[in-house]
Amino acid sequence: MPRRTDVASLVAQAREGQARAVARLISLVEDASPVLREVMAALAPHTGQAYVVGLTGPPGVGKSTSTSALVSAYRAAGKRVGVLAVDPSSPFSGGALLGDRIRMQEHATDPDVFIRSMASRGHLGGLAWATPQALRVLDAAGCDVILVETVGVGQSEIEVASAADTTVVLMAPGMGDGIQAAKAGILEIGDVYVVNKADRDGAQTTARELNHMLSLGPTRGPDSWRPPIVKTVASRGEGLEDVVEALEKHRAWMTANGTLAARRQARVRGEVEAIALAALYARMGDVAAGRRADELAARVLDGGLDPYAAADELIAGLAGS
């Protein structure tokens, strides 16, 4: 654990864009370090500038390749870029699997690109717990854009959407059938849709089906955002400038009508609530560590108490602690 002085200098170094300091601070977040509060307090005045883009989609659509190509596109525009690759499907690993990250190698020596893989370790709230705080580190480090890529599926998609200013949903030819899309819930979270591998057979069909399914969604007013569908071949860097353009349009639209401020407000409120909930749970953990939770569980097992009545008793104990 770094001493008090170390936190201050780490934050100062991160603000200067030193990659080691950024990495160290994210590690402190990931490990839920005892100095985490101190880190967050030190970062607070320097946050709020970064534009956060979430990238999600089913396995096999080329998320890592697309993320890397998007980094290149933003770098070409002179932006400082952060990448957070989250793998919520790896709760046991104690560290992200880095196999896919090889695609990021081309950016490894760029001092204006920060890349970080995070394994979400089954903390309460999963991705929601650690991601906003890691974003805060990258934000304070001066990133203009932060790309959050999820390696997982399912629930993580919603979590990415809730963490991002703009959510990009990636598809690929042959993955556009209705059940698949409905199952992933992706039609409800995308601000921008990308059909990657657009040089393959079926890309046009996928885009058309996607367009059709999006048209079946909630009726949109004249001022509402109609998610564009962009075609890319990320492995060759094709179409990424169109993605950046779609993102900037969405950002401008959100800024103009207050959506961006509202989303960020909701996000931070959720973040604050999640931290408060975890703190309450930790308090409950203290109670549970004692005999009472076990006694209550034993009474439920015996059929003498139902779990709700037991929870009431547990809360009564917590309130008194």
Give the SS3 label for residue 13: helix
**Does residue 167 belong to the site contacting its own copies (CB under 8 A)?**
no
Residues 277-306 that bind its own copies (CB under 8 A): 277, 279-281, 284, 288, 293-294, 296-298, 300-306
Q: Which is nearer to its own copies, 17 or 91 (CB)?
A: 91
Residues 41-70 that bind its own copies (CB under 8 A): 41, 43-48
Please state, in angstroms and as integers, the Cα–Cα distance from residue 221 to each residue in 218, 226, 242, following that order. 10, 9, 25
d(CA 156, CA 29): 19
* Closest C-alpha among 109, 63, 110, 106 to residue 86: 63
Q: Which of 6, 9, 12, 37 binds its own copies (CB under 8 A)?
A: 37
DSSP assignment of 283-302: HHHHHHHSHHHHHHHHHHHT
**Does residue 258 belong to the site contacting its own copies (CB under 8 A)?**
no
**Does residue 16 belong to the site contacting its own copies (CB under 8 A)?**
no
Q: Which is nearer to its own copies, 213 or 268 (CB)?
A: 268
**Does residue 315 belong to the site contacting its own copies (CB under 8 A)?**
yes
Q: Among the candidate windows 147-155, 166-174, 201-209, 222-230, which touches its own copies by CB under 8 A?
A: 147-155
Contact (CB, 8 A) for 128 and 164: no
Q: Which of 7, 86, 184, 234 binds its own copies (CB under 8 A)?
A: 184
Q: Which of 31, 106, 273, 286 binds its own copies (CB under 8 A)?
A: 273
Q: How far is the CB of 222 from its own copies (least distance, A)?
A: 26
Q: Which of 77, 276, 290, 291 binds its own copies (CB under 8 A)?
A: 276
Q: How far is the CB of 130 from its own copies (least distance, A)?
A: 12
Residue 80 φ/ψ, nearest 5 degrees: -85, 130
**Does residue 252 belong to the site contacting its own copies (CB under 8 A)?**
no
Residues forming beta bridges with residue 146, ordered by sequence position: 52, 82
Instruction: Sheet with 81-87: list strands edge to edge.
Output: 113-119, 81-87, 145-150, 51-56, 166-171, 192-195, 229-231
Q: Binding string to its own copies for residues 99 to 138, with x set by CB under 8 A, is what?
A: x----------------------x---x-----xx--x--
DSSP assignment of 50-70: PEEEEEE-STTS-HHHHHHHH
**Does residue 23 belong to the site contacting its own copies (CB under 8 A)?**
no
Q: Which is nearer to its own copies, 123 or 249 (CB)?
A: 123
